[in-house]
Amino acid sequence: MADTKTETVKDLKDLGAVTDVAETTENAAAETVAEKKEPQIDKLGRAYATGRRKGAVARVWLKKGKGQVIVNGKAQDQYFCRQTHLLVLNQPFLIVDRVNNFDVMCTVKGGGLSGQAGAVRHGISRALENFEPELRPALKKSGMLTRDARVVERKKIGKHKARRSKQWAKR
């Protein structure tokens, strides 16, 4: 049995099959390295992305800078007054350790302030990925790239709200 194995190995070496297998694995490894995502940056050095949360849609442009965030023409602390909204907004920069490295300009429409803050966060995360593709694993692991699909449930007929029934009186 040992003789048949050595014969088969010799036959494969004679055919060049073993070297072909080694070459194909090297080629596959080279292709995966070559398939790494390229940064998507425009002529002005900005990365663009869209973020969504509840009913809000944010269009985000990201470029190298000093950490200035402008939302609908206002500074972030003027547009979002609550500290929680500001924390939500800056989470992607904290996760990838890029605080005060990028300037953000965004427009956001629809929804309320919480939804808008979430939409801007989603947009910043996606723009960071477009600017530096190697940040994707850290952002993905922390859930920043996933769109939060939760939206308000619709009101049903015969109810006060989506599930709140009318008050019932026994007497």
Res. 92 pLDDT band, cuts 50 70 90: very high
Quote the CA–CA distance of 102 and 48 in Å, as a whole number. 13
Structure tokens at 125: 């995360």
DSSP 8-state code for residue 133: G
Over the stretch 29-73, which tens digit does the pLDDT of each residue have? Answer: 445 444 678 888 889 999 999 999 999 999 999 999 999 999 999
What pLDDT shows up at residue 40? Answer: 87
Domain boundaries in the chain?
47-139
Candidates 140, 111, 122, 116; CA nearest to 62 is: 122
- Name the more confident of 113 and 3: 113
What pLDDT shows up at residue 34? Answer: 43
Cα atoms in the 13 Å half-sphere on the side-chain side of 74 = 8
Domain 47-139 has CATH 3.40.50.300: no
User: What would the mean pLDDT of 79-99 be, rounded to a whole number?
Assistant: 94
Candidates 54, 44, 58; CA nearest to 92 is: 58
Over the stretch 3-30, which tens digit does the pLDDT of each residue have? Answer: 655 565 555 455 554 444 445 445 544 4
Res. 2 pLDDT band, cuts 50 70 90: low
User: What would the mean pLDDT of 133-150 be, rounded to a whole number?
Assistant: 93
- φ, ψ for residue 143 (rounded to 5)? 80, 15
Place of tokens 């002005």: 44
Candidates 17, 9, 47; CA nearest to 131 is: 47
**End-to-end Cα spacing for the chain:** 93
